[in-house]
């Protein structure tokens, strides 16, 4: 019977430790997400109207079934990898599985997002676009939609959305993509500075690490 060499045994031990640490990280992330979702459900659970038929919000708004129905929201666009449709039997959903990371190419999904929003509003319903915090991913999609639909400048779109939802904070990568999108639409940009170079935390103000979910 062959005896494993010390190096092989050490390698397996190291791999097992890595797997354990990854598992613990996933458990911790799930716990953090659950706690933050509960917070948003209580403190940030109202969809914000930003355009005719178009609402923006956090996971808290997406979990507020009563508000969704009272606002005649029929379509829900989920812009987050970690979130799943909350009421799949009651609303029409589309999910864009992306992380809130500056490296995420959200721009490649703009077209399908716009089509989904138009499908909802053109059939007499209203549409909610949400991510986890309602600050970055969903905001980026809504800004791009306003720029495309109304030929708005990025600066004007940001001012409008911020007036409805002051806590918006697209990450630096998304701002850069919006700048490029504005250039493709209008040939120039109205925003010359990357406004938010720091990745928003999972649960703002909760003392958590900056992580993308």
**3-state class (DSSP) for residue 49:** strand
Query: What's the pLDDT tens digit per position in 27-52?
Result: 455 555 555 655 655 668 999 999 99
Contacts of 182 (CB under 8 A, 6+ apart): 147, 153, 154, 188, 189, 190, 191
Percent of the chain at pLDDT above 70? 69
pLDDT band at residue 165 using 50, 70 and 90 as cut-offs: very high
- Catalytically annotated residue among 36, 48, 131, 203: 131
Does residue 155 sit within a domain?
Answer: no
Q: Is 131 a catalytic residue?
A: yes
Contacts of 13 (CB under 8 A, 6+ apart): none
Domain count of the chain? Answer: 1
Query: What's the pLDDT tens digit per position in 105-129?
Result: 999 999 999 999 999 999 999 999 9
Predicted confidence at residue 189, as pLDDT, reads 86
Does residue 115 sit within a domain?
Answer: yes
179 CB burial (10 A radius; 0-12, 13-18, 19+): middle
- pTM for the predicted model, two decimal places: 0.77
Q: Is it the case that residue 80 has pLDDT exceeding 60?
A: yes
User: Helix H segments across the chain?
Assistant: 6-43, 59-62, 65-70, 110-122, 137-150, 154-164, 172-186
**Residue that wins the pLDDT comparison between 68 and 23:** 68
Range(s) of the domain holding residue 119? 44-137
Predicted confidence at residue 211, as pLDDT, reads 45
What CATH code is carried by the domain that includes residue 78? Answer: 3.90.190.10
Instruction: State the chain's maximal CA–CA distance in angstroms.
Output: 75
What would the mean pLDDT of 171-187 be, rounded to a whole number?
96
Cα-trace Rg, the chain? 20
Does residue 125 sit within a domain?
Answer: yes
Does residue 16 sit within a domain?
Answer: no
Contacts of 190 (CB under 8 A, 6+ apart): 153, 154, 155, 156, 182
Does residue 195 sit within a domain?
Answer: no
Predicted confidence at residue 37, as pLDDT, reads 52
């Amino acid at each position: 019977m062959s005896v494993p060499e010390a190096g092989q045994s050490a390698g397996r031990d190291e791999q097992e430790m890595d797997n354990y640490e990854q598992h613990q990280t996933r458990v911790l992330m799930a716990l953090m997400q659950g706690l933050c979702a509960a917070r948003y459900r209580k403190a940030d659970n109202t969809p914000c109207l930003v355009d005719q038929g178009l609402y923006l919000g956090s996971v808290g708004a997406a979990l507020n079934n009563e508000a969704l129905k009272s606002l005649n929201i029929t379509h829900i666009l989920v812009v987050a990898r970690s979130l799943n449709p909350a009421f799949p039997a009651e609303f029409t959903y589309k999910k864009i599985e992306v992380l809130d990371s500056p490296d995420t190419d959200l721009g490649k999904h703009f077209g399908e997002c716009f089509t989904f929003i138009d499908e909802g509003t053109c059939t007499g319903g209203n549409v909610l676009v949400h991510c986890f915090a309602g600050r970055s991913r969903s905001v980026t999609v809504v800004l791009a939609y306003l720029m495309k639909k109304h030929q708005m400048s990025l600066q004007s779109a940001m001012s409008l959305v911020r007036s409805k939802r002051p806590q918006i904070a697209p990450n630096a990568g998304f701002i850069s993509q919006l700048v490029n999108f504005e250039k493709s639409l209008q040939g120039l940009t109205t925003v010359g500075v990357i406004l938010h170079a720091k990745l928003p935390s999972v649960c703002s103000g909760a003392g958590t690490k900056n992580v993308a979910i």
